[in-house]
Structure 1
Amino acid sequence: MSRFYIDTQTIPWEQIPWPKVEAVVFKLQTRIYQASRSDNMDKMRALQFRLIRNLHARLLAVRQVTRENQRKKDPDIYKKLVASGSQKIEMARGLQLDGKATPVRQMIIAKPRKEEEHPRKLRAKKKSRFCCAFSALGATKRRVNQARFAPGKWKAKNNLYFFFRTKLRVFFSFWPICVIEDRAKQALIKMALETEWEARFEPNSYGFRPGRSYQDAIKAIFDAIRAKPKYVLNADISKCFDRIDHQALLNKLKTLPNLAKQVEAWLKVNLMTGLGNNAQYMERGTYRVIFPLLVNIALHGMETALTEWSLEAYPKGPTPILVRYANDFVVLHQSEEIIEQAQAFLREWLKCMGLELHSEKIQVVDTGSGFQFLGFSINHIWKWGKVRTLITPSRESRRRFLEDMRRAIQLSKGKAAYQLIITLVPRIVGWGNYFKYSECNNLFRRLDHDIFQKIRAWVYRRHPTWGRDRIKQKYFPEKRSWLFNKKVYQDNWILYDSRTTAFGVKREYYLVKLSWIASHKHMLARQDKSPIK
């Protein structure tokens, strides 16, 4: 162990040598990982206890959550922002696992909408219904706050508030938000538990793990089906984040008493309640640091149990392949009968954790018919005289992307062109980078055309009296070169704008195209490797 030490009484937050701090913590995590791989439980528990008491680990935990805190519009349950370096050092010095958890507040987030539920003719009607519901909820909350301290009135007002809150659950999710001190505790415990379980996790578990991503899950499916068509069980665990048996999860952890007591305290304040099946939001912005790890621990053992069942029931045939990303998973095999029996086996296995499969999302198909997983459409097609695996962005993913672009453009009617560009570029680049590990080139060009139609309508609405030539010269200059990802592109129909800052500096803005993001091939991560090792 390094002798490097930080005196927080004399060293300010801005002068902390973070590379050395990270090296000290990483060395401890590596030793925990190696002890877990060799099943040396006594040594591993001693190292975990040493890690959570280590000042360097506490400093890193506070640094992690305060960085995330600065990017949130609603930073804390009590609107408390830890901004100064002295506050951060004081929090790190006082950070300890006391077995207490602050009750969480719930934030309203719109649920993902389905195509069949929202035809164009019903948009205006549903929008008015949303506005009425929100106005009723807001008025009720104001009456509740006014009558909170009036004796005999709180019960009736509270019931009325929760009545409207229940009605809104049809369209919105209520996500719990933890205070910053609890998030720092979660980051500290995650440093100790994640290294232990990374040495144990199954090879085809890819969700919310260091060194693993959705690209690995898609590549694993591609490698499994490219040689020969197979039958697919495409399933989703119903309300995985709400219904996990807390006692079964604690029994599965088998960790230090103070760690188990702290996790139990978070579970009692409904830390894992309110998400349903919205796993995709957890990757974009996680409000609970340790929550994805707990989900992976709860579902650990599914792949091993399925393999053991297959070897016992069908010892001569190939075993089914299970690929899991959080609560979404697929099972692949050449026999439809084995797929059906695997579905029944997994139903029984999930009951031990208090979980069940989503009856409306279970799908048993062959790869020729195709299926959707993590926003991708995966199927087999006949091309050039042989079967070829085709992975593309799904139709639903494309619809949601265009709907998001349309909504952003509609909300920018009164803004300048550079403000619209600033709004759209992160959406385009983020969506394109997610789906670039697929056969996406042709689809990206089609989506570019759809986006251009919306941009053109926005420009014409902004200047209804201008002619086409004048609009073309102002917003779509000719004979210009555009730089993106260290490549130069020539295009005469790129939305462009510029502005001069208060310091007299001219800044240029232009809207990138999806087709500038080329398709890539992903290299599957080695199953026996981990960045912690």
Structure 2
Amino acid sequence: MDTVEVNGPEDVGVRWDVIDCRTHEQNVARLRRRIFKATREQDWATVRSLQKLMLGSWSNTLVSVRQVTQRNAGRRTAGIDGETALSSEARAEVAVRVHRTRSSWVPLPVRRVYIPKANGKQRPLGIPALMDRCHQARVRNALEPEWEARFGPRSYGFRPGRSCADAIESLFATLKGPLAKRVWILDADLSAAFDKIDHSRLLDALGGFPARGLVEGWLKAGVIETGTFSPTEEGSPQGGVISPLLLNVALHGLEAAGVRYRTASSKAGEAVADSPVLVRYSDDFAICCHSRQQAEQVKARLAGWLAPRGLAFNEDRHTSSTSKTDGRPDPLMGD
């Protein structure tokens, strides 16, 4: 049985340096596994009940605040609130504040900053306020295990226990050997995927998730750039703790739109012999096809799937192309 303190220490001071982090992380991990298992069993009443338990868990609050304020690379970067928590005292205070506002928090706008890209252009990032980042980490622990149980086997980006190297290995396994028949590659990425996600489609996909309203609040919170507020009618800010997961949710089903899978026998879940194989790493993907014609047909079919979700291929980038391989795939994923 999980040990989950729902209420937390409302009247007792928190001593950050003596918190048993391992125990709290184990509590969260067990609850995540139960959400995953219930999703696989399609026991949706149990899924929602366990997600509510996670959202009220003091262990989840502590683990989330620790992740945001101690482990994340951006822990020294502030949002519009100008707040960071770099001392034990500050982290303890934030943990109590986050837990007390777990059912009443109203998201703040993100702070827009720009970082340089390899091609000389700039990538926009939206930096949430500290409290928003902590709440996003809490919500992610409730939402992520549900979707980990639902995501396709060849989706690799921003997923626990999966990496760019795994995506490359998947490509290699598909293309290797003298009898490999999928020798035409459609290598593509999406244009400004984080900034273009359709909110309605994404929220519909979340269904009855207990913190759906809070997710909508983050999507609609707006952006502040050089002191000017702009509303956000589409997209999820790249820089948010929960945004990579939301992008994966928005793209869930892309693989099935381009690939036909076996549904029976010991090979259930594998692509059928004459079907393409799609390997995705976030918004970059490679589709292994039997012919140039098949690659072009798949691209058109995927473009039709992406459009109502607010997404489109990046036609300006050189990787939105079709080429023939000799069985030695280049490490393109994550470029």
Alpha-carbon distance between aligned partners in 1 of 2:57 and 2:25, rounded to the nearest angstrom: 12
Deviation by residue 1:436-465 (Cα, 9 ceiling, x = unmatched): xxxxxxxxxxxxxxxxxxxxxxxxxxxxxx
Deviation by residue 1:465-517 (Cα, 9 ceiling, x = unmatched): xxxxxxxxxxxxxxxxxxxxxxxxxxxxxxxxxxxxxxxxxxxxxxxxxxxxx
Q: TM-score, normalised by structure 2?
A: 0.82
Q: Indicate yes or no: 2:146 matched with 1:196.
A: yes
Alpha-carbon distance between aligned partners in 2 of 1:370 and 1:241, rounded to the nearest angstrom: 27
Alpha-carbon distance between aligned partners in 2 of 1:245 and 1:209, rounded to the nearest angstrom: 21
Query: Residue 328 of structure 1: which of 280, 284, 287 is its match?
Result: 284
Aligned to 2:248: 296
Query: Residue 350 of structure 1: which of 306, 310, 326 is its match?
Result: 306
Query: Residue 322 of structure 2: which of 350, 364, 370 is its match?
Result: 364
Corresponding residue SS for 1:373: coil
> Which runs of 5 or more residues in structure 1 are unaligned?
115-170, 274-281, 377-533
Deviation by residue 1:135-157 (Cα, 9 ceiling, x = unmatched): xxxxxxxxxxxxxxxxxxxxxxx
Deviation by residue 1:186-226 (Cα, 9 ceiling, x = unmatched): 00000000011001110000000001000000000111111
Q: CA deviation at 1:333?
A: 1.7
Aligned to 1:374: 333
Q: CA deviation at 1:76?
A: 3.9
Aligned to 1:49: 52
The structure carrying a bigger helix percent of its residues is 1
* Correspondence 1:200-215 to 2 at 5 A: 200-215=150-165
Question: Which portions of structure 1, spanning 4 or more consecutive aligned residues, are displaced by more than 6 angstroms?
Answer: none
Deviation by residue 1:403-443 (Cα, 9 ceiling, x = unmatched): xxxxxxxxxxxxxxxxxxxxxxxxxxxxxxxxxxxxxxxxx
**Residue 97 of structure 1 contacts residue 185 of structure 1 at CA under 8 Å; is this kept in 2?**
no
Question: Which of structures 1 and 2 has the larger relative contact order (alpha carbons within 8 angstroms, sep 6+)?
Answer: 2
Corresponding residue SS for 1:175: strand
Q: TM-score, normalised by structure 1?
A: 0.53
Corresponding residue SS for 2:259: helix
Aligned to 1:32: 35
Alpha-carbon distance between aligned partners in 2 of 1:375 and 1:89, rounded to the nearest angstrom: 37
Deviation by residue 1:378-410 (Cα, 9 ceiling, x = unmatched): xxxxxxxxxxxxxxxxxxxxxxxxxxxxxxxxx
Aligned to 1:224: 174
Q: Indicate yes or no: 2:256 matched with 1:256.
A: no
Q: 1:337 to 1:74 in 2, by over 3 A?
A: same
Q: Indicate yes or no: 2:191 matched with 1:238.
A: yes
* Correspondence 1:35-434 to 2 at 5 A: 35-68=38-71, 72-95=75-98, 96-98=102-104, 100-113=106-119, 171-227=121-177, 228=180, 230-257=183-210, 259-270=211-222, 287-308=239-260, 317-361=273-317, 362-368=320-326, 373-374=332-333
Number of residues paired by the alignment?
Answer: 304
Q: CA deviation at 1:74?
A: 3.3
Alpha-carbon distance between aligned partners in 1 of 2:249 and 2:169, rounded to the nearest angstrom: 23
Aligned to 1:410: none
Q: CA deviation at 1:65?
A: 0.8
Alpha-carbon distance between aligned partners in 2 of 1:301 and 1:88, rounded to the nearest angstrom: 39
Q: 1:310 to 1:342 in 2, by over 3 A?
A: farther
Q: 1:298 to 1:218 in 2, by over 3 A?
A: same
**Residue 240 of structure 1 contacts residue 327 of structure 1 at CA under 8 Å; is this kept in 2?**
yes
> Which runs of 5 or more residues in structure 2 are unaligned?
224-229, 231-236, 264-270
**Residue 106 of structure 1 contacts residue 176 of structure 1 at CA under 8 Å; is this kept in 2?**
yes
Alpha-carbon distance between aligned partners in 1 of 2:27 and 2:89, rounded to the nearest angstrom: 22
Q: 1:88 to 1:357 in 2, by over 3 A?
A: same
Corresponding residue SS for 1:249: helix
Corresponding residue SS for 2:313: coil
Q: 1:13 to 1:305 in 2, by over 3 A?
A: same
Alpha-carbon distance between aligned partners in 2 of 1:71 and 1:233, rounded to the nearest angstrom: 34
Q: 1:309 to 1:24 in 2, by over 3 A?
A: closer
